[in-house]
Amino acid sequence: GENVEQHPSTLSVQEGDSAVIKCTYSDSASNYFPWYKQELGKRPQLIIDIRSNVGEKKDQRIAVTLNKTAKHFSLHITETQPEDSAVYFCAASSYSGAGSYQLTFGKGTKLSVIP
Amino acid sequence: SAVISQKPSRDICQRGTSLTIQCQVDSQVTMMFWYRQQPGQSLTLIATANQGSEATYESGFVIDKFPISRPNLTFSTLTVSNMSPEDSSIYLCSTRDPKDNEQFFGPGTRLTVL
């Protein structure tokens, strides 16, 4: 099955600096890579995703890059703000049989933005 | 995206009892998923609930412990049976949009077993 590794597990940055979270996956057939933000006590929220036919995607201060050859993808947050503080999860979607796909999640990165 | 609600939002239960968690979606969805998130941990898929067929369980999860119902395309339940303190966790319902594969989560049910 798919295996997703996520680094770092914790990350502290100064407000205004950039933050980068990296993930690797094992199944070369995985084709969809979402990122979720989970604030304390809240549900995971989809913030950006990328598909295997695209190398980079950007949405305002958030960008995601994908290297299919190396099987890794990264989340980049620029001009960080205190409200970016949360746990971020990467995931990879792989075929699980009988026409079904399932998400495998990384272990999460706790991002703290220091004012 | 679909609006997903769960009931109860939280509960405190005694060891040996069972709790049924309900998940309601505001639109018809083919696939619904149940996840567990233990304190400070990532999300682990328990099972996929398909309407009209048996749920598909992931390794480490069995139907006797986590029976699932899916009576229609907008509703599902997950029962946590014969609970022990190790079952204390957040249980999340999730659906996927088949058009673009985007997956969304319900607000979760925080379960504490004493």
Which helix (H) or strand (E) segment is A25 a member of?
strand A19-25
pLDDT tens for A1-11 read 889 999 999 99
pLDDT of A100: 75
DSSP, residue by residue, A30-64:
--EEEEEEE-TTS--EEEEEEETT-SEEEETTEEE
Our CA-based measurement puts residue A49 at a distance from the nearest CA of chain B, in whole angstroms, of: 8
- Residues B18-28 have a mean pLDDT of 96
Mean of all residue pLDDT scores within chain A: 94
Q: What percent of chain B has pLDDT over 70?
A: 100
Interface list for chain A against chain B, based on CB atoms closer than 8 Å: 32, 34, 42-46, 49, 89, 93, 96, 98, 100-103, 105-108
- Is residue A89 helix, strand or coil? strand
Pick from A95, A107, A112, A104: which is nearest to A9 by CA?
A107
Taking CA–CA distances from A106, the nearest residue in chain B reads B42
Per residue in B70-110, pLDDT (tens digit) is 999 999 999 999 999 999 999 999 998 877 888 999 999 99
A105: nearest CB among B31, B42, B102: B42
pLDDT-derived band at A84, boundaries 50, 70, 90: very high
Closest CA to B1 of B74, B97, B108: B97
Please state, rounded to an integer, the average pLDDT across all residues of chain B.
94
Cα–Cα distance, B49 to B92 (Å, whole number): 13
Phi, psi of A82 (to 5 degrees): -55, -35
B93's CB contacts (< 8 A; 6+ apart) are B4, B6, B21, B23, B32, B33, B34, B35, B76, B78, B105, B106
- The contacts of residue A46 (CB under 8 Å, 6+ apart) are A34, A35, A36, B102, B103, B104
